[in-house]
């Protein structure tokens, strides 16, 4: 160790230790951050109802809604009619999602991989997608009846297009060099598709799946509004017609859990199977 007084870095007295501190708002842990926000919103809500600015039929108080949440929750866990409605809606959503994913993936591959798909299938799909799809609900009811299948059809119809577009876009994601690499290895078209283009496109596909997961919820509930049946949408409509606004609120809140579960499932599958691509995280939900 040289004795020169310029070399002080490793001696204790010369250390300048400092740390960078995040501002307070960035240091709040997630559970507390969420609690603060929810508490704030509920407090505001309570103030608005307390001051009787709006009629309780339009906006029930948090207490009323909370009581109804507990009631609906107990009905859900004890196997009452709300549980039946949720099972019906959940099944509708799952069937519709599977159809949308399967159909969308196949059509997307056709569009993204073949010139025929790009030239003929895609313009027709775009034309269909620009139509107001909810307007097809009466047709589905006429064709498939008031049961679950007409709702599945509407929900799948709404959710398929995002999967088609994202799959097709994903198939274009492989770079020119990657294509040439596969060509130089003598890969067949099918090999290039399966071993290069589809895996490269998976992050795009999952973006479409997330949109579809939300879309099937909207489609299923819309279908139940318009076509009756036994789902949650029908319950909401009945409650609303009876001016039972707290019930509408609590059903919507429980529905949002169903939607969230769908969405998180897709995120989980993506994390597991597309491990090499860390999705851009916003709030940890990808």
| Residues of the shown chain interacting with another protein in the complex, contacts defined by CB under 8 A | 175, 177-178, 180-187, 191, 195-196, 199, 275-277
Nearest Cα to Cα of residue 235 among 218, 219, 258, 252: 252
Q: How far is the CB of 14 from another protein (least distance, A)?
A: 32
Shortest Cβ 176–another protein spacing (Å): 9
**Tokens 């809604």 identify what position?**
65
Rounded to the nearest whole angstrom, what is the least distance from the CB of residue 199 to another protein in the complex? 6
Quote the least distance from Cβ 127 to another protein, whole Å: 29
Least CB distance from residue 97 to another protein, whole Å? 25
* Smaller CB separation from another protein, 16 or 184: 184
Q: At its nearest, how many Å lie between another protein and the CB of residue 117?
A: 21
Residue closer to another protein (CB basis): 119 or 183: 183
CB nearer to another protein: give 146 or 273.
273
Our CB check for another protein shows the closer of 195 and 237 to be 195
Q: Closer to another protein at the Cβ: 53 or 185?
A: 185
Report CA dihedral (79, 152, 103, 206) to the nearest 10 degrees.
-50
Q: How far is the CB of 196 from another protein (least distance, A)?
A: 7
**Based on CB atoms, which residue is closest to another protein, 3 or 184?**
184
Handedness of CA 109, 276, 204, 157 (dihedral sign): positive
> Locate tokens 């709300």: which residue?
82
Q: Which is nearer to another protein, 205 or 212 (CB)?
A: 205
């Amino acid at each position: 160790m040289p004795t020169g007084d310029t070399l002080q870095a490793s001696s204790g007295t010369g250390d300048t230790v400092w740390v960078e501190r995040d501002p307070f708002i960035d240091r709040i842990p997630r559970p507390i951050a969420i609690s603060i926000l929810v508490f704030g919103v509920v407090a505001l809500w309570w103030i608005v109802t307390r001051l009787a600015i709006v009629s309780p039929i339009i906006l029930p108080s948090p207490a009323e809604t909370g009581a109804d949440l507990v009631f609906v929750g107990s009905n859900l866990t004890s196997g009452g009619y709300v549980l039946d409605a949720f099972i019906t809606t959940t099944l509708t959503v799952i069937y519709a999602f599977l159809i949308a994913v399967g159909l969308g993936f196949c059509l997307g591959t056709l569009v993204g991989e073949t010139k025929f798909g790009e030239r003929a299938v895609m313009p027709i799909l775009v034309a269909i997608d620009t139509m107001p799809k909810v307007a097809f609900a009466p047709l589905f009811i006429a064709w498939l009846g008031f049961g679950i299948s007409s709702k599945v059809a509407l929900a799948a119809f709404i959710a398929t297009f995002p999967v088609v577009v994202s799959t097709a876009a994903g198939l274009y994601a492989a770079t020119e060099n990657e294509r040439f690499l596969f060509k130089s290895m003598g890969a067949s078209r099918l090999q290039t598709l399966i071993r290069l283009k589809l895996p490269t496109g998976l992050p795009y596909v999952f973006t479409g799946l997330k949109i579809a997961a939300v879309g099937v919820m909207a489609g299923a509930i819309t279908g139940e509004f318009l076509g009756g049946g036994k789902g949650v949408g029908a319950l909401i409509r009945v409650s609303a017609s009876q001016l039972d606004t707290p019930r509408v609120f609590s059903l919507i809140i429980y529905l949002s859990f169903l939607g969230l579960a769908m969405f998180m499932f897709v995120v989980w599958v993506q994390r597991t199977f597309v491990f090499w691509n860390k999705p851009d995280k916003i709030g940890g939900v990808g």
